[in-house]
Structure 1
């Protein structure tokens, strides 16, 4: 199945995730405060206004009378002069089924309602904050409905002014808290930034281990990483020593056996030649595997393909001088890959040797690079390999032409060595007619 591309959220760094979460949370809280606080203040002011109106209601109720003609009258003037000032914004009215008494502030108008009877309007059609009540007087048998209202606009103006000031305060609070969060995140993640710098130094070969003065949350990871690096370097050094010792230990006995076989009759040489060749192939294969162990400092390795190709081609020009092969190296000298030099020599050397063996006259080497990977491409104008056999030639011991000297291990070693460096090799038909080998390796930064 094809690999799914990770989502944009999953690709965010830890710092970006923390900042994004803080911005989302803080923005939600500020907006909630900006919406809820004015609403709560408005409700409080309305409740306070109605509380004040209830005092007027008590005053009106205490002074409301019915005269001898059955008409409603107010026995004394109310304490608030706005009730007598026309269109003052403070109104009252008392109403029965056949009579109505109202404040002078209403002048020639009256308090009226919308169709739903939920909103009251004053003398100038201004919305009112109002309360109403029904009372009974001993001398009057019908209920008396009393309504007191005051202009709502001053409350809305007060809340609007408050909102303007509130948003300024919330904006300052927003950016202030955000700044503190940025500082806190930067300080909290500084050990990870330090680790990143040290890993870069490890990659460049300036260090062999990380420092041990990290916070205790990260200290176990650093300790384990240092132990892993030390263990890797020790294992690699030991494996290479064993490979070298094995090579020297077996070289002399094999040479003796080969020389002794030459003195035997021809009919007795053939049965012994094949087992010796198998032993030699196994030794070559496993020594090649040992050489694939990688670099002593895996994080700091880098090599120049252009430089190594020039050096290897000079040797092959002498070895295969009679074939008169021309190699064109188009790789820039500044390009470097994250592979140890001896391992890069092993991989490129095998690819170039195949080219020198099979090319008619020309080998072309070039590179395609991106931010993470470098593809070193070796093409020749030889006979190439049939498409159905391209997948088989990288297997151990496979040789398509038994008449050409070799063990059949070259491309297999290249494949496994590239894999150990998180790379790969692909074979295909070249536009030049021969074989096209694409060796993909990590780009060194």
Structure 2
């Protein structure tokens, strides 16, 4: 299964290619080592073939040796190192290691080995003339099943079942054709080869571990710019900065430039949308103000019906323009506002506005809590809720805030008369005012709820512990300041 992460794909792909490369390298090195070790064994066997051939004589047609050629290990019974001289398919001479046993006959044609006479006359200076030997053909190399060494050895050695490596040549000794065969045990090839391959295998494993460690380090260092880019994007999303800053590799710099261009384009679109909303508000309010002045004239609206419609139109325009402005903000996560200073500033202003009531504000908002909203909308929502609480409070307004996961719950409670539970939904409807004697248009709480919902939050009303109204405003939490 393909890994889902880019680092996993890079490391996995590199690991597969490294293992394949090392397996191929191990196979090639193993073949080279086997060829080298087999060559060393063949050279040793060829030397024994030449030694036996040089020592052979056939006086009267009877084959014999002029000297002992059973040098170690050809003198060790059952060792697998052996030689044999055959004539007409019959073993005539053999090494001490064979005992009474004999080797099989070579399969296939056996190359000839040219030898000079064993006893060449001396030249007049008393020196032995150089033997003009023809260049010998390569000996026949093959594998041969070992004889029953145990049956041939009276000392009780166990049966030798290893396959023998053989080299065979044919020559003529005093007109007697002979075939000389030398053998070596298979373990002479497998033992050194196994030791060399174990060393090579361990070295390849260490090399593979080093390569994988290098790949991990390279992938980690190579992907570090992506991690930095993700952190910069998170800072933009949380409102700490308005663009991506820093130096990036040549391959990532075009992406960073495109992201910065997109952020700038979104910011310009937001400014244009807010300007359009402001122009629309100005364009609608001016005719309404002129119409209101005209209706104030004597006899133009004696029953006040048009003034009521004019007030309704003004409230509806304010409501929808505020909603459009909030929708034009786009993603709220790019802004963040600390609640404690905004609540403190609004409370200071409202204390002066409602100085006749001598209100006291209990601000229990922790300084580290922030919301991911535009500051103007936060001021408007807090202003509506605090102003409503000041209108009905008798002496105390309590503000608390808690952060729960990704949300912040801000509670504003007063000690006023409160509302019956069945009347709470009515105050959240646009234009509905339960008490016409208080100033206002009845749009403060509905607008606050709609702004909160546009940011993914909510507004709920209930009763406070002192019997007044408690408004709980839920907004998305921003990163810690």
1:66 alignment counterpart: none
Between Structure 1 and Structure 2, whose CA radius of gyration is higher?
A: 2
1:82 aligns to what?
73
**Rounded Cα–Cα distance in structure 2 between residues aligned with 1:106 and 1:216:** 88
Note the 1:292-331 alignment, pairs <5 A.
292=326, 301-321=335-355, 323=357, 325-331=359-365
Aligned to 1:14: none
Residue in structure 2 matching 1:150, options 187, 207, 210: 187
Normalised to the residue count of structure 2, the TM-score between the two structures is: 0.60
Counterpart of 2:213 in structure 1 is 175
Q: TM-score, normalised by structure 1?
A: 0.64
5+ long unaligned stretches in structure 1: 1-8, 11-16, 64-73, 113-119, 121-127, 134-145
Q: Matched residues in 2 for 1:283 and 1:150: separation?
A: 101
Aligned residues: 381
C-alpha distance after superposition, 1:268-306 (max 9, x if no partner): 33x445323322322332343355366699787444422
Distance 2:272 2:341 in 1: 29
Aligned mates of 2:77, 2:418 — CA distance in 1: 108
Match of 1:289 among 308, 323, 326: 323
- Unaligned regions of 5+ residues in structure 2, if any? 53-62, 83-97, 105-145, 167-182
Aligned match of 1:443: 478
**RMSD of aligned C-alpha atoms?**
5.1
CA distance in 2, matches of 1:223, 1:42: 59
Question: After the TM superposition, which segments of 4 or more aligned residues of structure 1 sit over 6 Å from their partners?
Answer: 46-56, 74-80, 91-96, 103-107, 205-211, 294-300
CA distance in 2, matches of 1:315, 1:221: 41
Map 1:92-107 onto structure 2 (within 5 A).
Answer: 101-102=148-149
Matched, 1:18 2:6: yes
From 146, 153, 157, give the equivalent of 1:109: 157
Partner Cα separation in structure 2 for residue 50 and residue 424 of structure 1: 82
Any residues of structure 2 matched to 1:54-73 within 5 Å, and which? none
Matching of residue 235 in structure 1 with residue 273 in structure 2: yes
Label 1:388 to 1:46 Cα distance change in 2 as closer, same or farther (>3 A).
farther
Aligned: 1:342 with 2:379: no
Deviation per residue, 1:106-126 (Å, 9 max, x gap): 9742446xxxxxxx6xxxxxx
> Which one of 401, 423, 427 corresponds to residue 460 of structure 2?
427
Residue 26 of structure 1, CA deviation: 3.2
Other structure's SS at 2:187 match? strand
Aligned counterparts of 1:296 and 1:169: Cα–Cα separation in 2: 54
Stretch deviating more after TM superposition (277-286 or 370-379):
370-379
Which secondary structure state, in structure 1, belongs to the residue aligned with residue 186 of structure 2?
A: strand
Matches within 5 A, 1:345-364: 345-359=379-393, 361-364=395-398
CA drift of 1:347 comes to 0.5
